[in-house]
Amino acid sequence: MNTIEINNTGIKVDVSVFLFKEDDVFHAYCPELDLIGYDYTEEGAKKSFEFVLKDYLDYTVENGTLEQDLLNHGWRKSKSERDRGDSSSSPIERGTSWLRNNSYFCN
């Protein structure tokens, strides 16, 4: 199962990444996030994907859109997180505090 865990120390991402070659270019594609990295070497494609993933996380966290983007991609908050009862305000109203101790999963 694909998971993203967010806590006080950072973000842990465990997603599927498919590596394939098309023409002379290697691609590293994550369908759960619809992100892709590419290069002329396998190692370069992996590094490119890591850069794209970090950039995606940095951008969505900074703009307060990570949670909504995950939900838009079919991710769900883990049951224990939904039952915490912290729904009194939106993620934007809570600033980035909504990031702490959240887990998401995608089948």
For 3-17, what is each residue's pLDDT tens digit?
888 877 778 888 899
- Those residues whose C-beta lies under 8 Å from the C-beta of residue 35, and which sit 6 or more positions away, are 29, 49, 52, 53, 56
Would you list the domain boundaries of the chain? 2-106
For 23-72, what is each residue's pLDDT tens digit?
999 999 999 999 999 999 999 999 999 999 999 999 998 998 998 999 89
Whether the Cβ atoms of residue 45 and residue 27 lie closer than 8 Å to each other = yes
53 closest CA partner among 73, 76, 28? 28
